[in-house]
Structure 1
Amino acid sequence: MNVKKKIGLSAATAILGISLIGGGSFAYFSDSEVTNNTFTAGTLDINLKSTDDSKKINLNIENMKPGDWKVHQISIYNGGSLEVKDVKLRADYTVTDANGDNGTEDFADHILVNIMKADTKEVIANWVPLSQLKDSNLVVANDLKTPTGNKYQTNHRQTLRVDFKFNDNGQDQNIFQGDQIDFKLSFEASQKDGELK
């Protein structure tokens, strides 16, 4: 074999080797898997129900005089998909002074509120003035489970007995004649702490 053929054959062999090395870097095994996932947030939903099975809670008291009181029962239900850690109660109110003669007196100081758990008789607020419940965060329910559809299930609700009384302090309370208190009770539920899923 002459030198030209040897050089040509060597060059061809070198080119073939380089092409195999270069081409070999792109030849590999592969495999892939895909997972399709979703994250869905649960719901926190409490419902209030009066003892007369109506959805509307009516705490109105008319034509009150010192010494009058009214008893209500309110059931708090967990209607969501998440367990409730606790439910806090906050009150807010405004007083309408009919005759403009209240001065520094707050009519809400004379309306006493008693709150207890109906099943255990645990007292949550022991005849405190409505004015003291303003912006307070009283815990009125704990550990409400999610509803299961079992009609006998009781661990997803808490029934409260709520009493309102116009306190007769034995003194002249004429300045409150015709006065009115508009108030609202707010129930705020908190979720249980996050956990490993």
Structure 2
Amino acid sequence: MGIKKTLGLGMATAALGLALIGGGTFAYFSDSVETSGTFASGTLDLNAEPTVVINLDNIKPGDYGIRTFKLFNNGTLDIEKVLLRTSYSVTNMAGAPANTDDFGKHIKVMFLTNLDKQEDVIYETTLYELQSLAPDAVDNKWQEWFEERGGLKAGTSDNLIVKFEFVDNNEDQNQFQGDALQLKWTFEARQGTGTAK
């Protein structure tokens, strides 16, 4: 047999082998399945009732007011903290004496207590000092095993009671005659840390 025939036969054999190998790769079993998932976020929905915590007219040094209100969690997520932010503005009546002091330094929050947690949120501070603080209105620092934990669970509420006083400092406070202090308390709900679901 000549070299051309041997080479030709070798190439034909190689081509037949490749054809058989290539043809064999298409014969196999298969199966498949699809999976899916959804992600839906929850909501934080904090409300207060009433939204006007206090209105005191014609007050003089020594006058005070005690009020109750509720914080509601109408959302689907538990609230871990409710931070109380304080701001206010003071306006003077026309013709009133000129102020040399901040009226907010003389309005004291005698207490703000969370009745559900049996916890003092604020214990005696002025509105002026409270501006630089952000206490947690739903905390429970001294939790016993039978007491409600801190936070505000979805669908629940906490009752709070507060006492404000125009402090009589036994000095001349004429500069505050005719003053009006507009208080704004903002309760800011914060979620807890993420958990395994």
For 2:20 and 2:103, locate their aligned partners in 1 and report how far apart those are by CA, in whole Å.
96
Q: How does 1:95-174 map to 2 (within 5 A)?
A: 95-98=90-93, 99=96, 101-103=98-100, 105-113=101-109, 114-119=111-116, 121-141=118-138, 142-147=150-155, 156-174=156-174
Alpha-carbon spacing, 1:78–1:19, altered in 2? closer, same or farther (3 Å): same
Equivalence for 1:93: 88
For 1:72 and 1:101, locate their aligned partners in 2 and report how far apart those are by CA, in whole Å.
31
Unaligned residue ranges in structure 1 (runs of 5+): 51-55, 148-155
Alpha-carbon spacing, 1:100–1:171, altered in 2? closer, same or farther (3 Å): closer
For 2:187 and 2:177, locate their aligned partners in 1 and report how far apart those are by CA, in whole Å.
30
Letter in 1 for 2:108: L
CA contact 2:97–2:176 (8 Å) conserved in 1:
no
Query: Identity percentage over the alignment?
Result: 42
For 2:25 and 2:97, locate their aligned partners in 1 and report how far apart those are by CA, in whole Å.
93
For 1:96 and 1:140, locate their aligned partners in 2 and report how far apart those are by CA, in whole Å.
28
Residue by residue over 1:35-78, the C-alpha shift from the partner in whole angstroms, topping out at 9 and shown as x without a partner, is 1111111111111113xxxxx43422111111111111111111
Equivalence for 1:189: 189
CA contact 2:113–2:162 (8 Å) conserved in 1:
yes
Equivalence for 1:57: 52
Structure 1 residue 31: Cα displacement: 2.3
Equivalence for 1:53: none
Alpha-carbon spacing, 1:22–1:120, altered in 2? closer, same or farther (3 Å): closer
Higher mean C-alpha deviation, range 18-27 or range 184-193: 18-27
Structure 1 residue 15: Cα displacement: 2.2
Equivalence for 1:153: none
Residue by residue over 1:140-160, the C-alpha shift from the partner in whole angstroms, topping out at 9 and shown as x without a partner, is 10321122xxxxxxxx22111
Alpha-carbon spacing, 1:72–1:180, altered in 2? closer, same or farther (3 Å): same
SS in 1 for 2:137: strand
SS in 2 for 1:87: strand
| Pairwise CA RMSD | 2.4
SS in 2 for 1:59: coil
Letter in 2 for 1:67: G
Equivalence for 1:151: none
Give the TM-score normalised by structure 1. 0.81
Residue by residue over 1:3-59, the C-alpha shift from the partner in whole angstroms, topping out at 9 and shown as x without a partner, is 999987765443222112233345443322211111111111111113xxxxx4342
Unaligned residue ranges in structure 2 (runs of 5+): 139-149
